[in-house]
């Protein structure tokens, strides 16, 4: 199969590299010249474990190439994937589809022979119909089948997710597309990944519904964590206790400082808007969005409380800035609100992140100081806050850390430590959802 991918960002590049690895001949297109030049020189525009290696080996094998011009690669392709960004539109939270529609126009001018046009970008229900309409308006002779083929890639685990997906979803309105897309994903369902063919609108909604459900699951356990703190229960045990029920499942039940990233915040908001416009409001998702927004800032208050209620003039070390580990992505990262909240309360903040500091600088308050590692960051700090659970923070030399600190407060917003191991170093440990630590066992449950 000859595959052309328009948009060499995170989704386009990972998909292109993995399709090439399956043996397809792939061209990744992007209009940003600096990006294509960097990729040709073997430099990745994003940090994603394993990506550089897959790109290099497939370029070398002649299966993967990069171009700023879509004309040639589109005319030769069996399948053209649209993988451009759909950011939140300023002002109303709807997805901004201008890039998708521009690409649809460009594609329509260059397609030759029967071509499947597959949208990988996350787009609101009905966008496939619009893309179909645009292509036929611009070029009435174009023989295309427009399909929806959402991605379910987690940053930091994208290659694994691509190669071993739970499922592949393809929404179509033309049976010829089924044959082509079956061929595109053939190497995957040899690995037993189910491929689900649906209507185009259904497939578009599957993507939003999946992300909204996961965001809801996280938000649910985050609220349960708060409840645990107030009633003397432990959220990790609650997660385990409910997650063993196969109907619930153990994943996405880790309490944290609120979800961030490029997908959940944007997609939940867009779904809320679509649902309101369609006269079927999704109130649970609306609540999820609001609760998650408030949570990020509330985490700053939690840190202040752990410091005894005042942080003015104190130094707080923040470990982990990115919205999750194994990425340099700072979009909607809880660290942004938490650090701002601490600075607003008068604290001085030093920060360290293994990959995200460059991306963080323009987003964080200019007074934040950056350290070269976790120990330098903690040196002289009154309190230490773990915001992102990078592996290197799971195995810190706690004696060295404690010895360098001026104060003795450690706030673990990812629950990666046990209180005993922290407290035996003379530090005071605060985590999420451990009411056994915050309340005496004799705490009266019923109001008296």
Out of 148, 149, 203, 254, point to the residue binding ligand UDX (CB under 6 A): 254
Nearest-Å Rg of the Cα atoms of the chain is 24
256 annotated ligand-binding residue: yes
Cα-Cα end-to-end distance for the chain? 71
Residues 318 to 377 in contact with ligand UDX, rule: CB under 6 A: 323-324
Out of 128, 260, 356, 407, point to the residue binding ligand UDX (CB under 6 A): 260
Q: Is 27 exposed, middle or buried, given 0-12, 13-18 or 19+ CB atoms closer than 10 A? A: buried
Give the residue with the Cβ less far from ligand UDX, 401 or 413. Answer: 413
Regarding 269 and contact with ligand UDX (CB under 6 A), the answer is no
Give the residue with the Cβ less far from ligand UDX, 222 or 274. Answer: 222
Q: Where are the beta strands (DSSP E) in 173-274?
A: 195-199
Q: Give all strands of the β-sheet with 144-148 in edge-to-edge order.
A: 64-67, 25-29, 2-6, 79-82, 115-119, 144-148, 168-172, 195-199
Phi and psi based region of residue 37 (left: phi greater than 0; alpha: psi -120 to 50; beta: remaining): alpha
Please answer whether residues 124 and 211 qualify as being in contact, where contact means their C-beta atoms are separated by less than 8 angstroms: no
Return the range that interacts with ligand UDX (CB under 6 A); candidates 25-33, 53-61, 252-260, 398-406: 252-260
Out of 48, 151, 229, 434, point to the residue binding ligand UDX (CB under 6 A): 151
Regarding 261 and contact with ligand UDX (CB under 6 A), the answer is yes
DSSP type of residue 388: S
Minimum CB separation of residue 239 from ligand UDX in Å reads 8
Regarding 208 and contact with ligand UDX (CB under 6 A), the answer is no
Instruction: Give the count of residues interacting with ligand UDX (CB under 6 A).
Output: 19
153 annotated ligand-binding residue: yes
DSSP type of residue 87: P
Count of C-beta atoms within a 10 Å radius of residue 175:
9
Regarding 253 and contact with ligand UDX (CB under 6 A), the answer is yes
Which of 18, 263, 377, 431 is catalytic? The answer is 263
Which tokens hold the place of 275?
A: 């649902």
Q: Is 372 exposed, middle or buried, given 0-12, 13-18 or 19+ CB atoms closer than 10 A? A: exposed
Out of 256, 341, 354, 407, point to the residue binding ligand UDX (CB under 6 A): 256
393 annotated ligand-binding residue: no
30 annotated ligand-binding residue: yes
Give the residue with the Cβ less far from ligand UDX, 132 or 155. Answer: 155
207 annotated ligand-binding residue: yes
Distance of CA 357 to CAs 210, 263, 330, 370, 380, Å?
30, 21, 9, 8, 20
246 annotated ligand-binding residue: no
266 annotated ligand-binding residue: yes
List, in order, residues 6 or more apart from 274 with CB less than 8 Å away.
Answer: 94, 124, 125, 208
Query: Known catalytic residue: 431?
Result: no
Nearest alpha carbon to residue 299 among 214, 190, 415: 415
Regarding 114 and contact with ligand UDX (CB under 6 A), the answer is no
Return the range that interacts with ligand UDX (CB under 6 A); candidates 102-110, 210-218, 335-343, 351-359: 210-218
Regarding 154 and contact with ligand UDX (CB under 6 A), the answer is yes
Out of 264, 352, 417, 429, point to the residue binding ligand UDX (CB under 6 A): 264
Residue in the block written with tokens 């120990």: 375
Return the range that interacts with ligand UDX (CB under 6 A); candidates 65-73, 112-120, 148-156, 369-377: 148-156
Give the residue with the Cβ less far from ligand UDX, 341 or 407. Answer: 341
Which tokens hold the place of 141?
A: 């002779």
Separation between Cα atoms, residue 120 and residue 236, nearest integer Å? 35
Return the range that interacts with ligand UDX (CB under 6 A); candidates 211-219, 352-360, 375-383, 415-423: 211-219
Out of 74, 80, 134, 218, point to the residue binding ligand UDX (CB under 6 A): 218
Please answer whether residues 255 and 225 qualify as being in contact, where contact means their C-beta atoms are separated by less than 8 angstroms: yes
List, in order, residues 6 or more apart from 290 with CB less than 8 Å away.
Answer: none
Return the range that interacts with ligand UDX (CB under 6 A); candidates 92-100, 223-231, 241-249, 261-269: 261-269
Please answer whether residues 229 and 413 qualify as being in contact, where contact means their C-beta atoms are separated by less than 8 angstroms: no
344 annotated ligand-binding residue: no
Residues of the shown chain interacting with ligand UDX in the complex, contacts defined by CB under 6 A: 151-155, 211, 214, 218, 252-254, 256, 259-261, 263-264, 323-324
List active site positions.
263
Q: Which residues are annotated as a binding site?
A: 30, 35, 86, 122, 152-155, 207, 252-256, 260, 266, 324, 331
Q: Which residues are annotated as a binding site for NAD(+)?
A: 30, 35, 86, 122, 155, 266, 331
């Amino acid at each position: 199969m000859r595959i052309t991918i328009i948009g060499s960002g995170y989704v386009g590049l990972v998909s292109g590299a993995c399709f090439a690895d399956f043996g397809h001949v792939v061209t990744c297109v992007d209009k940003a010249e600096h990006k294509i030049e960097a990729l040709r020189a073997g430099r990745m525009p994003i940090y994603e474990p394993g990506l550089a290696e897959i790109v290099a080996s497939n370029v070398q094998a002649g299966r993967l190439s990069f171009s700023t011009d879509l004309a040639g690669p589109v005319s030769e392709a069996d399948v053209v994937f649209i993988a451009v960004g759909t950011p939140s539109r300023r002002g109303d939270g709807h997805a901004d589809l201008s890039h998708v529609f521009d690409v649809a126009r460009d594609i329509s001018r260059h397609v030759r022979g029967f071509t499947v046009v597959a949208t990988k970008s996350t787009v609101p229900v009905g966008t496939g119909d619009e893309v179909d309409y645009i292509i036929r308006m611009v070029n009435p002779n174009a023989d295309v089948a427009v399909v929806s083929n959402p991605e379910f890639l987690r940053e930091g685990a994208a290659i694994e997710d691509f190669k071993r997906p739970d499922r592949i979803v393809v929404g179509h309105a033309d049976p010829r597309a089924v044959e082509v897309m079956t061929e595109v994903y053939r190497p995957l369902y040899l690995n037993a990944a189910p491929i689900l063919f649906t209507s185009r609108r259904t497939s578009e909604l599957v993507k939003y519904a999946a992300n909204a459900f996961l965001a809801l699951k996280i938000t649910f356990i985050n609220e349960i964590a708060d409840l645990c703190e107030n009633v003397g229960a432990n959220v990790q045990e609650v997660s385990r206790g409910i997650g063993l029920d196969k109907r619930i499942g153990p994943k996405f039940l880790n309490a944290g400082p609120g979800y961030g990233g490029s997908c959940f915040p944007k997609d939940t908001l867009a779904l809320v808007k679509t649902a309101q416009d369609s006269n079927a409001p999704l109130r649970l998702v609306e609540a999820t969005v609001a609760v998650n927004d408030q949570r990020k800032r509330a985490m700053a208050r939690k840190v202040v409380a752990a410091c005894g209620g005042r942080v003015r003039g104190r130094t707080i070390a923040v470990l982990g800035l990115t919205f999750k580990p194994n990425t340099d992505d700072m979009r909607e990262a809880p660290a942004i609100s938490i650090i701002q909240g601490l600075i607003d309360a008068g604290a001085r903040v030093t920060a360290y992140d293994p990959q995200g500091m460059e991306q963080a600088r323009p987003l964080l308050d200019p007074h934040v100081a950056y350290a070269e590692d976790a120990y330098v960051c903690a040196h002289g700090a009154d309190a230490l806050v773990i915001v992102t659970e990078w592996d290197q923070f799971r195995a810190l030399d706690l004696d060295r850390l404690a010895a360098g600190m001026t104060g003795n407060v450690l706030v673990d917003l990812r629950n990666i430590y046990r209180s005993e191991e922290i407290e035996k170093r003379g530090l005071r440990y605060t985590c999420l959802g451990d009411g056994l630590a915050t309340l005496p066992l004799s705490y009266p449950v019923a109001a008296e």
